[in-house]
Structure 1
């Protein structure tokens, strides 16, 4: 069955957006390369690299909006954009999550999978910006504490991996609570709501989803730094898990009918 003109147009815009976004990442890596060779390793270089990453993420997100690929409401993030020494915990429906959040949060440092650090594109940028490699909990507490000590916001996806489209969030890993206890940092829940399956677990990078992809970023509860005891840590983990489940139940339906 032949494709309709509107479907052909959507496919053309989608695949063109992949090329443009790929070009943005190449420019991002090139800028990071320049920073590594012009500034000595240290706090200043990491701060400049984070601003550069935020700028290029913003370019990518604004382009996707203009091209009709992405429709993302992240106005609520303005309330925390300048807060520092803050642990952010977010659900993880898509690989686009970090890009979207980085475009709005210039002081954000993300705990990222170790496999991303080995990639030719992006891995070196993450190292330059002081992002934290996700190995074992004992190995990430030191770098995470350093990032928070540099007045950053530390983003973690406590599910540990992306969820599948239409599925409930996965079980919550306790690492974020241990970091908040260790650093005495407050914890802000970030809820990413989308009906789009694109780049969820099992979705191919090249498979076009329905367009535009609708996202809404909401702020959940803001928890004070937990006490350094097992009960306080467990209560925080349970509260965050409950937030994720409620958002999964109600947010997707709201977006589909908006």
Structure 2
């Protein structure tokens, strides 16, 4: 009886958390960021303040879900994210992986799907924070490298979408192209959620019987020089790096 009541509570708490998330997004768009644009005129300062605001809002959201008993989490190696100009690559098992990383990474930049620029809950924040639109086409890689050169910490999920239910990790080559062309080491983050919740194809109310535990491990940098040599093209180097990262994340997730 208590177990069933605990399950129902977490369903309600999950729904409440996402309701708060949506309302918060609308408030940022309708009130906070318009006021920011009126008070702060320099675009770089606007972006910096907007990103800090989003980071604190996401941190509060994670704290809310933890406090309500929806989830619990541990972060290992967080100090490795305190540097600047990082290319952070992570696997993507759940819906809120982006929220977790952006809640704990200062001056975070990310690639945002074009549909989020049209979503009323997310349009205001992504525009104010100056995130990178994935509809940029051929300019996308150049935009990402430019962001890194400015000292931003760029967060990318190289799978492009959440990991499928069978756990088969398949990486796209875009992130490796950024690393190779920008000659930028990779900071890998391995995300594990047990039992899995908010996975690909799951509805928000399909909560597991037990409270989900997120384990987020920031690992040692992967040095890019080992994949680049004078005889190989950038395309070949990106292919090597993608294959390595795919094996790396697959093995690390299994180990975790």
TM-score relative to the length of structure 2:
0.86
Contact 1:190–1:217 under 8 Å retained in 2? yes
Structure 2 CA distance for partners of 1:40 and 1:182, relative to 1, 3 Å? farther
* Contact 2:28/2:124 (8 A) holds in 1: no
Q: Match of 1:164, SS?
A: coil
- Which piece of structure 1 moves more, 105-114 or 55-64? 105-114
Paired residues of 2:95 and 2:199 also in contact (CA < 8 A): yes
Cα distance between partner residues in 1 of 2:48 and 2:216: 25
Q: Does 1:182 align with 2:181?
A: yes
Aligned residues: 249
Cα offset for 1:221?
4.0
Q: 1:72 to 1:82 in 2, by over 3 A?
A: same
Query: How far has the Cα of 1:156 moved from its partner?
Result: 0.9
Aligned: 1:233 with 2:238: yes
Displacement of 1:25: 2.8
- Match of 1:81, SS state, is helix
Residues 153-192 of structure 1 mapped to structure 2, 5 A cutoff: 153-169=153-169, 171-192=170-191
Q: Partner of 1:51: helix, strand, or coil?
A: helix
Q: Measured at CA, do residues 207 and 38 of structure 1 come closer, stay the same or move farther in structure 2, by a change above 3 Å? A: farther
2:195, 2:131 → 1: CA distance?
27
Distance 1:139 1:181, change over 3 A: same
Q: Secondary structure at the match of 2:121?
A: coil
1:82 is the counterpart of 2:82: yes
**Distance between the aligned counterparts of 2:51 and 2:190, measured in 1?**
22
1:42 and 1:99 map into 2 onto residues whose CA distance is: 24
Q: Cα offset for 1:79?
A: 1.7
List aligned pairs for 1:5-16, cutoff 5 A.
5-16=5-16
Match of residue 256 from structure 1: none
Hey, what does 1:201 align to over in structure 2?
200
- The alignment partner of 2:171 has SS state of coil
* Deviation of the 1:41 alpha carbon: 5.5
Would the alpha carbon gap of residues 28 and 192 (structure 1) be closer, same or farther in structure 2, given more than 3 Å must change?
farther
Q: 1:21 to 1:211 in 2, by over 3 A?
A: farther
Contact 1:220/1:243 (<8 A) preserved: no
Secondary structure, counterpart of 1:111 in structure 2: strand
Residue deviations 1:199-236, cap 9 Å, x none? 22111134333342211111234123443634432322
Equivalent-residue separation in structure 2 for 1:124 and 1:206 (angstroms): 27
The Cα of 1:102 is off from its aligned counterpart by 0.8
Q: Is the 8 A contact 2:112 2:134 kept in 1?
A: yes
